[in-house]
């Protein structure tokens, strides 16, 4: 078996003759134009990709990039978990035009060359664990237990690769143990090492120093979760991957505050803590790992610009909503319609809160609560605690209030397009979950 790393979570797993492309994101500008790769994946390399199947772990755009799917050279079957909601299947079939094969939890899908993929659902979603502040599962009747992400076990000829995708350790531990994945002798563990949420770069702090301290704490938190994965699975080798991105356009200045280390720094940290357990392997774009011998083959890469030069270049790019033309007179109506869905979701999950939600763009400011219809307020009006204030671009507000076809609150949050102020600094899961339904 072989793994060829492309970008972030995107790899090609080769069994004997069959190749599986995983979580395709090879183009830039996901999450409404804010997420980029460094170095960027070259179009000539994308055009010559060879694969027989595609595996998609979950719905986030850095795992199912629409622009990448449009650019892929081959339309082949896409393997996904059989989710309770058909949303992922619908998007791949109806929007992208690919055939979908749904795999039941824990049941191997066999390939013609004797290889297999077994997809396991990770349950019990808690947005705080993955660093995201809004629940991103498509359905949550009771916003406690959901199937949001998946693990994938690739096997062939006695060799095995476990791909953990974005699954936080707390979510995946029970799945790993109940399916004996910690006891079958995994050869290679592909493990995440960072969190992609808006904290701390999009939150208010007393000083830049305090924000940097929070970023370092977040780095260490997620690296330690990777160590827990390695210590549980005890693979022969591990590959840090996933969550490898930088911010572009006018958000480029937030990149250094994300609390996400480089993959090189991540490997250095992990290697110091798991010396006697597993061998760490750094896979850069187009590198290949031979699983049997744990041997790395260097890929051929050519990109002339330095990291700093590339940041300057992408800082000039526009975000997806920058050139929108909307009628601002529609915003009060859109907010009233959106509030109906917001309040209905709160009633459905029996969520009660007295926290005010302040939604402010450069042109308008709304104040609403679970039990209080939105009112337009001035920027200078004093809001008594408790409150959560979200500041965002006016064009983006138009998109969000119009619904997921235009933009989704969760993707805007992950993309660092929303700025947060909380007083007191308390996370109310139900409030953020209901926010995802604040659209007409």
Burial 307-345 (b: 16+ CB within 10 A, else e): eeebbeebeebebbbeeeebeeeebeebbebbbebbbeb
Residue 279 forms beta bridges with which residues? Answer: 237
Q: Write out the two tokens for 244.
A: 């490898």
On whether the CB atoms of residues 7 and 243 are closer than 8 A, the answer is: no
SS3 category, 323: coil
Pairing of strands 10-14, 295-297: unpaired
CA distances from 327 to 332, 365, 377, 417 (A): 11, 16, 19, 21
How far apart (Å, rounded) are the C-alpha atoms in residues 159 and 154? 8
Rg (CA), the chain: 22
CA 247 from chain center: how many Å?
Answer: 14
Cβ–Cβ contacts within 10 Å for residue 440, how many?
Answer: 16
How far apart (Å, rounded) are the C-alpha atoms in residues 197 and 206? 20
Selecting from 3.90.25.10, 3.40.50.1820, 3.40.50.150, 3.60.15.10, what CATH number does the domain 2-314 have? Answer: 3.60.15.10
What is the domain partition of the chain in residue ranges?
A: 2-314, 328-435
CA distances from 319 to 35, 322, 337, 412 (A): 10, 5, 26, 11
Burial class (CB in 10 A: 0-12, 13-18, 19+), 133: buried
Fold equal for 2-314 and 328-435? no
On whether the CB atoms of residues 390 and 420 are closer than 8 A, the answer is: yes
Task: Give the torsion sign (CA, 262, 263, 264, 270).
Answer: positive
Selecting from 3.40.50, 3.30.1490, 3.30.1050, 1.10.101, what CATH number does the domain 328-435 have? Answer: 3.30.1050
pTM for this predicted structure: 0.92
User: pLDDT tens track of the chain, all 440 residues?
Assistant: 999 999 999 999 999 999 999 999 999 999 999 999 999 999 999 999 999 999 999 999 999 999 999 999 999 999 999 988 888 999 999 999 999 999 999 999 999 999 999 999 875 444 444 444 444 443 344 433 345 689 999 999 999 999 998 888 887 898 999 999 999 999 999 999 998 889 999 999 999 999 999 999 999 999 999 999 999 999 999 999 998 999 999 999 999 999 999 999 999 999 999 988 899 999 999 999 999 999 999 999 889 899 999 999 999 999 999 999 999 999 999 999 999 999 999 999 999 999 999 999 999 999 999 999 999 999 778 888 999 999 999 999 999 999 999 999 999 999 999 999 999 999 898 999 999 999 99
């Amino acid at each position: 078996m072989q793994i060829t790393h492309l970008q972030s979570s995107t790899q090609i797993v080769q069994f004997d003759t069959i190749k599986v492309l995983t979580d395709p994101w090879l183009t830039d500008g996901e999450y409404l134009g804010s997420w980029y790769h460094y170095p960027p994946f070259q179009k000539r390399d994308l055009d010559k990709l060879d694969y027989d199947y595609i595996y998609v772990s979950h719905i986030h755009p850095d795992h199912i990039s629409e622009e990448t799917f449009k650019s892929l050279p081959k339309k082949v079957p896409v393997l996904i978990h059989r989710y309770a909601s058909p949303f992922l299947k619908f998007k791949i079939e109806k929007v992208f035009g690919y055939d979908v094969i749904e795999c039941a939890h824990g049941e191997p899908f066999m390939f013609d060359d004797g290889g297999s993929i077994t997809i396991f659902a990770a349950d019990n979603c808690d947005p705080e664990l993955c660093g995201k502040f809004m629940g991103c599962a498509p359905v949550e009747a009771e916003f406690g237990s959901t199937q949001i992400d998946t693990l994938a076990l690739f096997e062939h000829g006695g060799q095995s690769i476990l791909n953990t995708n974005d699954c936080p350790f707390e979510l995946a531990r029970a799945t790993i143990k109940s399916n004996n994945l910690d006891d079958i002798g995994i050869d290679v563990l592909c493990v995440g090492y960072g969190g992609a949420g808006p904290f701390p770069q999009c939150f208010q702090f007393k000083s830049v120093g305090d924000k940097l301290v929070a970023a370092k704490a977040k780095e260490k938190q997620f690296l330690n979760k990777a160590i827990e994965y390695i210590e549980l699975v005890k693979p022969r080798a591990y590959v840090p991957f996933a969550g490898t991105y930088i911010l572009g356009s006018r958000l480029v200045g937030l990149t250094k505050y994300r609390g996400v280390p480089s993959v090189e720094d991540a490997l250095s940290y992990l290697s110091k803590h798991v010396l006697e357990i597993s061998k760490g392997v750094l896979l850069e774009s187009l590198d290949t790992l031979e699983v049997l011998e744990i041997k790395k083959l260097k890929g051929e890469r050519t990109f002339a610009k330095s990291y700093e030069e590339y940041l300057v270049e992408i800082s000039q790019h526009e975000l997806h909503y920058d050139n929108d033309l909307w009628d601002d007179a529609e915003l009060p109506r859109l907010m009233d319609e959106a509030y109906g869905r917001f309040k209905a979701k709160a009633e459905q999950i029996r969520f009660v809160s007295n926290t005010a939600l302040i939604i402010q763009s450069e042109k308008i400011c709304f104040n609403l609560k679970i039990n209080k219809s939105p009112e337009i307020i001035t920027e200078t009006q004093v809001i008594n605690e408790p409150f959560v204030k979200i500041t965002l671009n006016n064009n983006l507000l138009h998109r969000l209030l119009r619904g997921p076809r235009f933009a989704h609150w969760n993707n805007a949050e992950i993309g660092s397009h929303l700025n947060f102020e909380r007083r007191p600094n308390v996370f109310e899961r139900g409030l953020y979950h209901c926010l995802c339904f604040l659209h007409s």
